[in-house]
């Protein structure tokens, strides 16, 4: 069908600002009809019935308070706003990174809503933050569930590395109950011990904020990171910490946070590593972690064509 051409209508709208009640939403609209005939720039617009041509509407809003408020002013519903917040969360901490003056723009397919504004699920969303732009693009899986991807077809959202360091072996596994060789008591082992030479760099497995950094008796030098909910991670027995880190510091995935040591109750150098889900310890080697996924080759081709079309509108 659209392999020959695609004619579409683009409407630019600017969301009304609450503090500018006199500015009509419609008065700022501009409507542009664009016809494309691939391979022949001078060809006349093909005769595609208007009913079949997708109509794209671009809306843009300033960030005044939160991303959610800006998204809402663009007409995005709460559920989709939550999905979008999650999509941007690997790159941005929306609660802290956005400032007044940043902008959010979105492209909607308004072909079938007859101007009622029924389309609530944007095909593409861009956050312009200072001089940098962050884009995500809608792709629905075969079950029709919406997911947002980066322009190269990689899933968005927080992603975790499984292992925080290059280790030589698992010296003690996660267990609900085991005999502790140091305190000579049966107790649970809330994490996994990864043996590695003293001084081996230890890296954050996902973006986060340091909740605790310092010394605790059993753990020795320990870092606790609050990752995107519901995850948090703990790194214990460190010889020392990476410079400049303190409680409240933000870290990115793969950032070095400290170095393997044997502080606290331990028989030799290793990293004691915990992953908590909703504050409950889980086996770090097995817990289900959000990871990056790429679209399959056949889906990717179509996706990339659409990304090129939508990026031109943002
Ligand atoms: Zn341990």
Distance 191 CA to ligand 1 centre (A): 6
Task: For residues 181 and 226, state if they share a domain.
Answer: yes
Question: Ligand 1 centre from 271 Cα, in Å?
Answer: 7
pLDDT of amino acid 101: 85
Domain residues for the domain of 178 are 169-282
Instruction: Tell how far the Cα of 265 is from the centroid of ligand 1, in angstroms.
Output: 9
Q: Residues 65, 142: one domain?
A: yes
Alpha carbons 204 and 251: distance in angstroms, whole number = 7
Model confidence band, residue 19 (pLDDT cutoffs 50, 70, 90): very low
Residue range 222-241: average pLDDT?
96
Judgement on whether residues 29 and 145 belong to the same structural domain of the protein: yes
Statement to judge: residues 133 and 225 lie in one domain = no
Instruction: Kindly report, residue by residue over 176-188, the tens digit of the pLDDT.
Output: 776 777 777 777 8
- Domain-located, residue 134: yes
More confidently predicted of 186 and 259 = 259
- The residue-averaged pLDDT of 172-200 equals 85
pLDDT of residue 123: 94
Q: How far is the CA of 178 from the centre of ligand 1 (A)?
A: 11
For residue 83, give both structure tokens.
């999905």
Q: What are phi and psi of 192, to 5 degrees?
A: -130, 145
CA distances from 111 to 1, 51, 53, 126, 239 (A): 16, 8, 7, 21, 61
Instruction: Determine the distance separating the centroid of ligand 1 and the alpha carbon of 83, expressed in angstroms.
Output: 36
Q: Within this chain, do residues 82 and 204 fall inside the same structural domain, yes or no?
A: no
Structural domain contains residue 1: no
| Residue 123 sits in the same domain as residue 230 | no
CATH of the domain at 34: 3.10.450.350
**For tokens 């056949």, what's the residue?**
298
Residue 272 CA to ligand 1 centre (angstroms): 4
* pLDDT score of 221 more than 80: yes
78-82, 92-96, 171-175, 297-301: which range is least confident on average?
A: 92-96
CA distance 73 to 104: 10
Query: Are 122 and 40 within one domain?
Result: yes
Note whether 19 and 150 are same-domain residues.
yes
216 located within any domain: yes
Q: What is the pLDDT of residues 134-162, one digit of tens each?
A: 999 999 887 887 889 999 999 887 789 99
Question: Rounded to the nearest whole angstrom, what is the distance from the C-alpha of residue 219 to the centroid of ligand 1?
Answer: 8
pLDDT score for 71: 92
Residue 289 included in any domain:
no
**Ligand 1 center to 47 CA (angstroms):** 70
Distances (CA, A) of 251 to 8, 72, 166, 292: 43, 29, 19, 19
- CATH number, domain containing residue 235: 2.70.70.10
pTM of the model: 0.63
Q: In angstroms, what is the span from residue 41 Cα to ligand 1's centroid? A: 66
Q: Over 60: is that where the pLDDT of 26 sits?
A: no
d(CA 82, CA 249): 25
Tell me the per-residue pLDDT of 49-87, one tens digit each, with 9 for 90 and over.
445 667 888 999 999 888 989 999 998 988 888 889 888
Q: Give the pLDDT mean for 254-277.
A: 95
Q: What is the pLDDT of residue 176?
A: 79
* Residue 22 within a domain: yes
How far, in Å, is the centroid of ligand 1 from the Cα of 209? 22
Between CA 52 and CA 9 the distance in angstroms is: 11
Does the residue 164 lie in any domain? no
In a domain, 162, yes or no: no
CA 174–ligand 1 middle distance (angstroms): 8
Asked if 39 and 122 sit in the same domain, the reply is yes
Q: How far is the CA of 125 from the centre of ligand 1 (A)?
A: 43
Average of pLDDT values for 164-171? 92
pLDDT band at 231 (very low <50, low <70, confident <90, very high): very high
Q: Is residue 12 domain-shared with residue 87, that is, in the same domain?
A: yes
Residue 195: exposure state from Cβ atoms within 10 A (0-12, 13-18, ≥19): middle
Q: Distance, CA 285 to ligand 1 centroid (Å)?
A: 13
145 and 12 in a common domain: yes
Number of domains in the chain: 2
Q: Same structural domain for residues 10 and 147?
A: yes
């Amino acid at each position: 069908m659209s392999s020959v051409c695609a004619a579409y209508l683009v409407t630019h709208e600017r969301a009304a600002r609450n503090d500018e009640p006199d500015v009509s939403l419609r008065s700022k609209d501009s409507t542009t009809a664009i016809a494309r005939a691939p391979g022949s720039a001078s060809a006349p617009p093909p005769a595609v019935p208007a009913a079949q041509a997708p109509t794209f509407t671009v809306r843009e809003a300033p960030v005044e308070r939160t991303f959610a408020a800006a998204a809402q002013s663009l007409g995005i519903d709460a559920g989709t706003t939550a999905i979008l917040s999650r999509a941007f969360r690997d790159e941005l901490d929306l609660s802290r990174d956005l400032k007044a003056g940043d902008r959010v723009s979105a492209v909607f397919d308004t072909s079938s809503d007859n101007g009622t504004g029924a389309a609530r699920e944007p095909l593409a969303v861009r956050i312009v933050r200072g001089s940098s732009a962050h884009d995500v693009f809608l792709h629905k899986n075969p079950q029709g569930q919406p997911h947002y991807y980066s322009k190269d077809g990689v899933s968005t959202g927080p992603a975790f590395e499984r292992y925080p360091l290059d280790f030589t072996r698992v010296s003690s596994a996660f267990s609900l109950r085991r005999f502790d060789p140091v305190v000579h008591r049966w107790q649970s082992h809330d994490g996994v011990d990864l043996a590695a030479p003293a001084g081996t760099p230890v890296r954050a497995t996902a973006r986060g904020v340091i909740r605790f950094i310092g010394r605790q008796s059993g753990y020795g030098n320990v870092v606790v990171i609050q990752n995107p909910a519901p995850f948090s991670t703990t790194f214990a027995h460190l010889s020392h910490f990476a410079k400049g880190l303190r409680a409240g510091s933000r870290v990115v995935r793969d950032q070095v946070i400290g170095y393997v040591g044997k502080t606290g109750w331990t028989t030799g150098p290793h990293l004691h590593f915990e992953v908590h889900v909703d504050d409950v310890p889980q086996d770090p080697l097995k817990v289900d972690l959000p990871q990056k996924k790429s679209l399959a080759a056949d889906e990717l081709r179509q996706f990339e064509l659409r990304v090129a079309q939508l990026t031109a509108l943002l």
